[in-house]
Amino acid sequence: MSDPQRLLIRMPTWVGDAVMATAALRAVRRSLPQTRISLMGGAHLEPLLADADLFDDWIPTATGSGKVAANIDAIRAARADVALILPHSFRTAWEIWRASVPRRIGLARQNRGWLLTDPLRPHRLPEGRRAIPMHHEYLEVVASLGASGDGLGSRLSVAEEVVSAASQRLEALSIGSDRAWIGFHPGAAFGPSKIWPLDRMATVARTLRDDDGCGIVITCGPGEEPLAQQLRGLIGGEVVDLSDDLWPLDQLKVLMEKLTLLVTGDTGPRHIAAGMGTPQVVLMGPTSPDYTDAYLETTRVIRREDVECSPCQQKVCPLGHHQCMTFIEPEQVIDEVRHWLAQTSDPAQAEDHA
């Protein structure tokens, strides 16, 4: 079968999933250099994925009433020969089917197999495993077009003008190379179940600042400003809080690259940091690590294996005790951060902790 002239790739909704898809997007670009590639997803994702030569056109998904009809019209206008559908939802497949894209490839999930010309059978998972990592799942979808991965995980890039604008903001905040800067991201767009108790995060931040001489940066997304401000109050003293002037996603990539390390829950910023090569200490409770269990060279996951109800994949703890997160102690996090700090000063230790 000849290569498509126009390819549409329907992107996942979540920031983290979109970043994990970059391995598959690179594979497609490398395998189909003459194909015009359009990505379709939330408008907020375009600057996140820009500047890495992953796509030719971005088709923003519609919002509000009438969004399905608007999406169908936009897909028709793209005149794609083939569509790759990365999300699992019925609606994304329905829209592409209604737009009459000739070849439609995706996983046969949520009773949508009949909408696809190439329905891919989901994995039969071993006992006790919830999923294959999203990096690998997306690579399997694009493999239908002969695309294969390069052995690397998430990779993001930044345009020079974005670096320049972000550098000015860093300078205004006095975030430089004078010391190690540790980022703390207290929020989670998924829901409150992912949030580690703020008093514990504050303990970690104060210890690293007062005992280890680190600079502290609090990051947050839209709607998470109260959490960031509460954390700032709990930490006290010298701390950079970005909640008063939120960074756009393209400039956030520059900040993440500047940080020595990020402490966070299982969040989108975790994946942005990974895409920029910055280590992360990830506190994981309600969500399964199976979805992200790939390319973890810069990642340390802390989770409590002794909480029977975890992972529940629920946005709010259904039992009300939140033990999967409250059982994580500040000392565990401090120890992991110090391991990474030691590696930056003595690379030979990296092998011992790998």
Q: Are 176 and 167 in contact (CB under 8 A)?
A: no
198-210 and 330-345 helices cross at what angle (nearest 10)?
A: 40
Please tell me whether the peptide bond between 133 and the residue prior to it is cis, using omega within 30 degrees of 0: no
Q: Identify the CA nearest to 54 among candidates 36, 41, 72.
A: 36
Percent above pLDDT 70 for the chain: 97
Residues 6+ apart with CB under 8 A from 343: 349, 350, 353
Give the helix/strand (H/E) hosting 105.
Answer: strand 103-107
Cα Rg of the chain (Å, integer): 21
Residues 6+ apart with CB under 8 A from 49: 18, 19, 22, 25, 39, 55, 156
Task: Give me the mean pLDDT over the 66-73 stretch.
Answer: 97
With cut-offs at 50, 70 and 90, classify the pLDDT of residue 126: confident
Listed by start position, the domains of the chain span 6-145, 165-353
Task: Give me the mean pLDDT over the 84-99 stretch.
Answer: 98
Q: Are 185 and 15 in contact (CB under 8 A)?
A: no
Q: Report the distance separating Cα 289 and Cα 308, nearest Å.
A: 15
pLDDT of residue 346: 61
Does the pLDDT of residue 353 top 50, yes or no? no
Does the pLDDT of residue 281 top 80, yes or no? yes
Percent above pLDDT 90 for the chain: 85
pLDDT of residue 354: 46
pLDDT, tens digit, for every residue of 296-328? Answer: 999 999 998 888 899 988 999 999 889 999 999
Q: Identify the CA nearest to 80 among candidates 23, 32, 48, 123.
A: 32
Superfamily of domain 165-353: Glycogen Phosphorylase B; (3.40.50.2000)
Does the pLDDT of residue 50 top 50, yes or no? yes
β partners of residue 39: 9, 58
> Structure pTM?
0.94
Say yes or no: do domains 6-145 and 165-353 share a fold: yes
| Apex 335 CA angle, 231 and 311, nearest 5 | 70
Q: Which CATH number does 6-145 carry?
A: 3.40.50.2000
Q: Report the distance separating Cα 244 and Cα 242, nearest Å.
A: 6
Write down the mean pLDDT value for the chain.
Answer: 94
- At CB < 8 A and 24+ separation, what contacts does 280-285 make? 281/333, 281/336, 281/337, 281/340, 283/196, 283/325, 283/328, 283/333, 284/311, 285/193, 285/194, 285/310, 285/311, 285/322, 285/324, 285/325, 285/328
